[in-house]
């Protein structure tokens, strides 16, 4: 049966709800759950995912920037929201008024926030980001205490949280993670010695939440695992043996439709650059998905799709808006037939992990890069 959309993404509400319930079972008592919905909820559709998450008992939401946070507030979502990375300085007044938590990783932004909050006669709520060894955003270790002491004296700033990010949480060898946790603990001890009390501490991503209970603190930040995808690139089974009951369900499926079928004579080439030559008479299907839609060009002559439960290989280069698929094994295939890019069809399945391996990347990138203009249908 032909779908009303030519290309669409289906997201399972029940899978997300199941993943939240499952992950909450492994949290240290009292630890709060922050669902990371940045970047269109890793491609899943961030307003609806945020609604599902908050209705399923998630305490916090994490966005990448203020624009995402404002979109959630405009959608009627009122739970605490933490901006994880960056913000437009021109939008800070609205952020303060809407009680959006802002990241601070330098004194200058704290001073700016304090000035705006003073003018509004309010307090800006911040989480201070410290660099414990990832060498990304964060106050350098040797400046942390000095900078926080100065921020703590600002009258219109409330330091609600302090956080960091782990560089190697997915590694079965947890020595680097343990080192970062020690640095974080040292910072907390020095703040305690200086009589600076910061209520909420957090450092754990999905992998750390699963693998290292010492990382849980007051909040865990669950991203990729919320969507049922493995956060560990290698040794997945070995690492998850520590949580044998942790059976997460992938929430996303991606479908398109055959728009044309045609016969290619033996010896002809397919696609740009003539990278594939057919050795025998071949039937191909044209599907309206390409790298603009987020189907990686590195899947040229490497990826497969499912049609009527049968694996069909991509032939030739992935184009901007089209792919060519060998359907010689399905004589009855016709325009309008459903094509599964990610997900299950009868007894077979194509996972985001499979595409990631073929494209030489990670599952995060595969799902996050699905074009946001493609409809997300929640089922």
pLDDT beyond 70 at 243 = no
Task: Evaluate if residue 180 carries a pLDDT over 70.
Answer: yes
Write the CB contacts of 128 (distance below 8 Å, at least 6 apart in sequence).
Answer: 103, 104, 105, 139, 148, 151, 159, 161, 162, 163, 198
Q: Are 288 and 256 in contact (CB under 8 A)?
A: yes
Judged on CB neighbours under 10 Å (0-12, 13-18, 19+), 146 is exposed
Q: Band the pLDDT of 63: cuts 50, 70, 90.
A: very high
> What angle do helix axes 107-120 and 144-152 make, rounded to 10 degrees?
10
pLDDT at 238 over 70: no
9 contacts 252 by C-beta, under 8 angstroms: yes
Please count the other Cβ atoms lying within 10 Å of the Cβ belonging to residue 374.
20
What is the pLDDT at residue 1?
A: 47
Q: What is the pLDDT of residues 287-335, one digit of tens each?
A: 999 999 999 999 999 999 999 999 999 999 999 999 999 999 999 999 9
* Contact (CB, 8 A) for 125 and 102: yes
Question: Which of 66-70, 169-173, 257-261 has the least mean pLDDT?
Answer: 169-173
Angle between helices 66-74 and 46-55 (to 10 degrees): 60
Strand partners, 253: 10
The pLDDT value given to residue 137: 94
Cα–Cα distance for residue pair 189/184, rounded to 1 Å: 9
Q: Which residues have a catalytic role annotated?
A: 38, 272
Q: What share of the chain in percent tops pLDDT 90? A: 92
Q: What is the DSSP code string of 180-228? A: HHHHHHHHHHHHHHTT---SEEEEE-HHHHHH-GGG-SSEEEE-GGGGT
Are residues 312 and 340 in contact, defined by beta-carbon separation less than 8 angstroms?
Answer: no
Closest C-alpha among 70, 63, 60, 76 to residue 90: 70
The average confidence (pLDDT) of the chain is: 95
Q: 151 — phi, psi (to 5°)? A: -65, -40
CA separation (Å) from 351 to 254, 304, 324, 339? 10, 11, 20, 14
Structure tokens at 184: 């974080």
The pLDDT tens digits for 113-139 are 999 999 999 999 999 999 999 999 999
Confidence at residue 233, expressed as pLDDT on a 0 to 100 scale: 53
Q: How far apart are the first and last CA of the chain?
A: 17
Q: How far is Cα 302 from Cα 148, in angstroms, rounded to an integer?
A: 51
Q: State the pTM of this model.
A: 0.94
- Give the count of beta carbons closer than 10 Å to the beta carbon of residue 306: 22
Burial 18-32 (b: 16+ CB within 10 A, else e): bbbebbeebbeeebb
pLDDT value at residue 298: 98
pLDDT for position 11: 98
Average pLDDT, integer, range 82-94: 94
pLDDT tops 60 at residue 21:
yes
Residue 204 has pLDDT above 80, yes or no: yes
């Amino acid at each position: 049966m032909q779908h009303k959309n030519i290309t669409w993404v289906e997201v399972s509400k029940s899978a997300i709800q199941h993943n939240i319930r499952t992950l909450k079972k492994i949290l240290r008592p009292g630890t709060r759950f922050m669902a990371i919905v940045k970047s269109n909820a890793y491609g899943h559709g961030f307003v609806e995912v945020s609604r599902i998450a908050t209705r399923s008992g998630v305490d916090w939401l994490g966005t990448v920037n203020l624009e995402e946070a404002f979109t959630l507030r405009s959608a009627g979502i009122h739970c605490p929201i933490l901006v994880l990375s960056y913000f437009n300085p021109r939008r800070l007044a609205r952020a303060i008024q809407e009680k959006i938590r802002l990241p601070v990783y330098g004194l200058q932004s704290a001073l700016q926030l304090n000035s705006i909050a003073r003018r509004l006669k309010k307090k800006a709520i911040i989480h201070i980001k410290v660099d414990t060894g990832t060498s990304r955003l964060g106050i350098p270790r040797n400046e942390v205490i000095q900078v926080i002491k100065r921020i703590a004296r600002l009258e219109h700033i409330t330091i609600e949280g302090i956080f960091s990010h782990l560089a190697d949480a997915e590694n079965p060898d947890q020595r680097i993670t343990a080192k970062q946790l020690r640095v974080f603990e040292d910072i907390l001890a020095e703040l305690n010695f200086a009589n600076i009390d910061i209520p909420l501490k957090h450092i754990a991503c999905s992998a750390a939440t699963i693998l290292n209970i010492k990382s849980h603190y007051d909040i865990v930040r669950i991203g990729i695992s919320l969507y049922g995808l493995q956060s560990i690139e290698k040794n997945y089974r070995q690492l998850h043996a520590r949580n044998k009951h942790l059976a997460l369900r992938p929430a996303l499926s991606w479908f398109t439709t055959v728009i044309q079928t045609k016969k290619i004579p033996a010896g002809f080439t397919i696609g740009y650059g003539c990278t594939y030559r057919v050795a025998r008479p071949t039937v191909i299907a044209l599907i309206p998905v390409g790298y603009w839609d987020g189907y990686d060009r590195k899947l040229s002559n490497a990826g497969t799709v499912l049609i009527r439960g049968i694996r069909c290989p991509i032939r030739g280069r992935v184009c901007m808006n089209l792919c060519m698929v060998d359907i010689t094994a399905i004589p009855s295939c016709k325009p309008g037939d459903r094509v599964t890019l990610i997900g299950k069809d009868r007894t077979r399945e194509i996972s985001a992990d499979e595409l990631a391996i073929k494209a030489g990347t990670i599952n995060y990138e595969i799902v996050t890069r699905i074009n946001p203009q493609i409809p997300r249908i929640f089922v």
